[in-house]
Chains A and B, each alone.
Chain A
Amino acid sequence: MIQIQDVHKSFGDLEVLKGVDLDVDKGEVVSIIGGSGSGKSTLLYCINAIEDIQQGRIVVDEIDVHAKATNQNKLRQKLGMVFQQWNSFPHLTVLENTSLAPQIVLKKSKKEAIELAKYELNHVGLGDKFDVYPTRMSGGQQQRLAIARALAMRPDYMLFDEVTSALDPELVGEVLDTLRMLRDDGMTMICVTHEIGFAREVSDKVAFFHQGIIEEMGPPEHVISNPQKETTQKFLSKVLH
């Protein structure tokens, strides 16, 4: 379970998160929507300890993410993350991209790591690309590679940061299909997304971010189909039209 309690985060003088509370249960799919600059991506970075926080706390399975005693490298093994940019490792083949971290971080044998990588690559539909260098693949394929690469670490949670925003429109579908598949597998996921239709379809819970706080939160049929707050209505009317 991920517990986010009264989290404040600033970059210099700019306060980006102004007291965010959010619980994510095992098996839940939570979508975070909101305008750009509302702090939604920053929250993911804080969960993964990529960013510090100034106040409040984030607890992942009883581990306080930002406590001094926490081994953040170890913590990140629980939390798979996929970014807007896929950041494929260009010097490694698809199979090596996926099997590297299990080998050096989880200390799996090469054989085991490759088995694991092959399994995850087949899962995301890249079973025919093992020996290809990622720079030869489309953005959609590289994003699916990034998902497989994160999954090969066998994380308990997956964090998705606008994973379709940098894709050509015709490639968005294949990545969203991969996310749907993960949901059906029972993966716990937090998705920061601009795909409102997708959020409505897959989420157990939707959080609407506005100016550093969660303005409205609840099941998608409330937040997206029948929003109560004016800011939410305004935002949705702009993106849905």
Chain B
Amino acid sequence: MGISFFTPLSWNDSGFILTGVLNTIYISVLAIVVGTILGLIVGFLRAEANRFVNSLMGSVLDILRSVPLIIQLILFSTYIGAMGHPLNPFVSGSIVLSLYTMAFMGEVFRGGFESVQKPMIVTARSLGMSYWQALRYIRLPIGLRAVFPSWLGVALSVIKDSALVSVIGYMELLRTSEQLISRTQQPLEILIGVGIFYFIISYPLSLYGKYMERKMAI
């Protein structure tokens, strides 16, 4: 009887997998929240700014959106490390993923702000509302409703994209599974399991989206 270097998957691994699941949720939620807030600001500025400022912001956002996330992650973490400020994988991963999310959310929200026609805003102003009141009570709620489905699409893809943060060493779901695979040599079971976990994480968000869309359908 030969000696095996591999130990099969067992219930003892569940704690390890759970860490991966939680870390995936953690970094995804963080990137979605931060990316949404920054995206709102960027989208608003783009909808309001003049052409020069707009094209300047546009080109930065274009870079963030066009360079593959995996390259951004590696470049950022190595560069920061080489500068003598090594950050732990969670911090660099959160920064890059949040900015990446911001770039997509910015375009989503810009579309939302622009979808509210000028006469609607003039009407609000004619009732005595200030610029900011018209923004807060009319433009923002109408614009957000219009782009909610796109927002949801970006949020869902961020959850899946968070898997890429594994390349810089963050112990999220994919990386835990890779380590388990190298120990157990049971890629099929583990990857199916991981797929199911991603589904379980994403599905509530889809359901929430359907619920909200129904609620907002007027």
Contacts and interface: CB of A to CB of B under 8 A. Distances in A.
Given A83-B123, A87-B119, A104 B129 contact: yes
Interface string B129-147: 1100100011001100100
Interface of B is mostly: helix
B137 A90 contact: no
A133 interface: yes
Contacts of A101: 127-129
Contacts of B129: 73, 101, 104-105
Contact of B218 (A50, A87, A90, A150): A90
Q: Interface residue tally of chain B, by bracket?
A: 10 to 19
Contact of A100 (B120, B137, B145, B216): B137
Interface string B76-90: 000000000000000
A90 B142 contact: yes
Given A85-B119, A90-B142, A50 B125 contact: yes
B213 to A, nearest CB: 14
A48 B133 CA distance: 18
A132 to B, nearest CB: 10
B128 A77 contact: yes
A101 B141 CA distance: 15
Contacts of B127: 76, 100-101, 105, 149-150, 153
Contacts, number: 60
A104 B142 contact: no
A239 B218 CA distance: 39
A50 B122 contact: yes
Interface residues of A, number: 27
A85 B122 CA distance: 11
Interface string B192-218: 000000000000000000000000101
A81 B126 contact: yes
Given A85-B119, A104-B137, A91 B126 contact: no
Contacts of B216: 91
A63 to B, nearest CB: 14
A233 interface: no
Interface in A61-94: 73-74, 76-77, 79-81, 83, 85, 87, 89-91
Interface of B: 119-120, 122-130, 133, 137-138, 141-142, 145, 216, 218
Interface of A: 48, 50, 73-74, 76-77, 79-81, 83, 85, 87, 89-91, 100-101, 104-106, 133, 135-136, 146, 149-150, 153
17 contacts: A50-B126, A73-B125, A73-B129, A76-B126, A76-B128, A81-B126, A83-B123, A83-B126, A85-B119, A89-B138, A90-B142, A101-B128, A101-B129, A104-B129, A105-B127, A135-B218, A150-B127
